[in-house]
Structure 1
């Protein structure tokens, strides 16, 4: 295992602060670093993060290797994650555009990533290169709670643990579903709902920024929803975390409700995006 810890701040005597939000691993902050239980895919994810940063994508955490306990070590990014209710910057057009621009920036860099020969992903061992299979690597959980904001600016996309090979466009689709957002006012969304007219506007703006036709983007959203639903149901039933937790709390039903909502509102969203003009 490689490590860049010698080049990081000396955090040896720093106290550990447990960070909340993780499901399958214990995550702590220690000084200027974040440390979490390593997984079989951690070396592959670190190689991906190093590639992104070398490609000029600096709004991802810097991987620092592993500590004496075998935990992965990442640079800690100062700021606040966007849990509901969302921070004001994310509720603005400028905040949504910032996310779309980062997705575009990531897409270009991810397309040039070459997997290590022994690559392992959260979804299982790699079966040949992504390019041979017509796939690219996606973040895997591209949602507000994995974005870090500071001073009204988007400064990082974190938690790359579920990165995996996937069809082109899945990151843009998943981000549309979670940042617009696309779905009924269930659970966390009910705490601070986005008005329907604002959803239409944000969807149209998102399509324009990621340069994907609205019909195509909604097709991709449906693909991601089916995949996520099946993964929660299958892995959750086998007791694999965090999917067992997701299954127990009713996430399959949540995804079903989101799929039904999307089918009901598809024509309205497409029409709004077709008629939309930048002001």
Structure 2
């Protein structure tokens, strides 16, 4: 992907992987490369505006360089290394609540009318659009409360449970204690319950949430690997031997602890 030419008035925005170094703020707008499946993503953002969902940027068109122009969403984005407040239970619950509002807002969107850049596994696919990347650096906070999702590049039809499972894996987090704060990993069942409560997930769906989290792990990193194989700069930079080892540890941890998590998270409710 070619490097965008920023004007002197533009400020680089940090975070993200696929568009690292290519996203800029200009006054109250964000300028960034158009994503794969841009027409679908833009239609989604326009739908969210029509239904009054305030938790996403507005699509404002293209600039003279062909970059998409989005409204700038003010607030704090917990880019790496995340600040301590981002890992609080209150922040976690608010992420669940934000995802629920987003999913409710897309109920009336006809996803089948568009071509999407990604496809989630068939077992977790549905008629409604998922964000598919509610990572820490894609959520805007104000006063410790999640208020908006940004970066819809990976959006595609999926299911509510699939999207929530991605959030669970990233925000609880569900990973090896060598790769996350051990106090958070130790509290994984309790924090899963916090996220589920924030979303309003029914207790009967908790085991399926854990199963989906395992599936999201391989799917999400297959996106990164494919981007690296295509030579996409941000993905190439991140898909290092150490990252591949990190991914393997995460897969092993989820396989080892999935049954315990499904059992213990129900006891937290």
Do both share a fold (TM > 0.5)?
yes
User: TM-score of the superposition, structure 1-length normalised?
Assistant: 0.80
Match of 1:138 in 2: 130
**C-alpha distance in structure 2 between counterparts of 1:173 and 1:163, whole Å:** 15
**C-alpha distance in structure 2 between counterparts of 1:203 and 1:91, whole Å:** 13
1:202 aligns with 2:195: no
Larger displacement relative to structure 2 (33-42 or 235-244): 235-244
Match of 2:14 in 1: 20
**1:176 deviation in Å?**
0.4
**C-alpha distance in structure 2 between counterparts of 1:156 and 1:73, whole Å:** 17
1:37 aligns with 2:33: yes
**C-alpha distance in structure 2 between counterparts of 1:102 and 1:151, whole Å:** 14
Match of 1:179 in 2: 171
Instruction: Tell me the secondary structure at the aligned position of residue 109 of structure 2.
Output: coil
1:58 aligns with 2:57: no
**C-alpha distance in structure 2 between counterparts of 1:93 and 1:40, whole Å:** 34
Q: What per-residue deviation string (whole Å, max 9, x for no partner) do you get for residues 75-126 of structure 1?
A: 1112221134434543332211111111111112223211484x343338xx
1:123 aligns with 2:118: yes
Distance 1:250 1:54, change over 3 A: farther
Larger displacement relative to structure 2 (80-89 or 95-104): 80-89
**1:61 deviation in Å?**
0.8
Question: What residue ranges of structure 1 are gaps of 5+ in the alignment?
Answer: 1-12, 125-129
**C-alpha distance in structure 2 between counterparts of 1:67 and 1:233, whole Å:** 30
- Judge conservation of contact 2:16–2:138 (CA < 8 Å) in 1: no
- Judge conservation of contact 2:59–2:69 (CA < 8 Å) in 1: yes
Aligned length: 254
- Judge conservation of contact 2:172–2:184 (CA < 8 Å) in 1: no
Larger Cα Rg: Structure 1 or Structure 2? 1
Larger displacement relative to structure 2 (39-48 or 59-68): 39-48
Larger displacement relative to structure 2 (67-76 or 261-270): 261-270
Larger displacement relative to structure 2 (231-240 or 44-53): 231-240
Pick one of 93, 99, 103 that aligns with 1:103.
99
Q: What per-residue deviation string (whole Å, max 9, x for no partner) do you get for residues 204-237 of structure 1?
A: 2223343153211011111212222333344433
Give the structure with the higher percent helix: 2
Instruction: Tell me the secondary structure at the aligned position of residue 169 of structure 1.
Output: helix
Pick one of 165, 169, 172 that aligns with 2:161.
169
Distance 1:260 1:49, change over 3 A: same
**1:164 deviation in Å?**
1.8
Question: What residue ranges of structure 2 are gaps of 5+ in the alignment?
Answer: 1-6
Larger displacement relative to structure 2 (244-253 or 58-67): 244-253
- Judge conservation of contact 2:96–2:197 (CA < 8 Å) in 1: no
C-alpha RMSD of matched pairs (Å): 2.7
Q: Where do residues 199-278 of structure 1 align in structure 2 (5 Å cutoff)?
A: 199-210=188-199, 211-212=201-202, 213-240=205-232, 242-248=234-240, 250-277=242-269
Distance 1:255 1:40, change over 3 A: closer
Point out 4+ residue stretches in structure 1 off by more than 4 angstroms: none
Instruction: Tell me the secondary structure at the aligned position of residue 257 of structure 1.
Output: helix
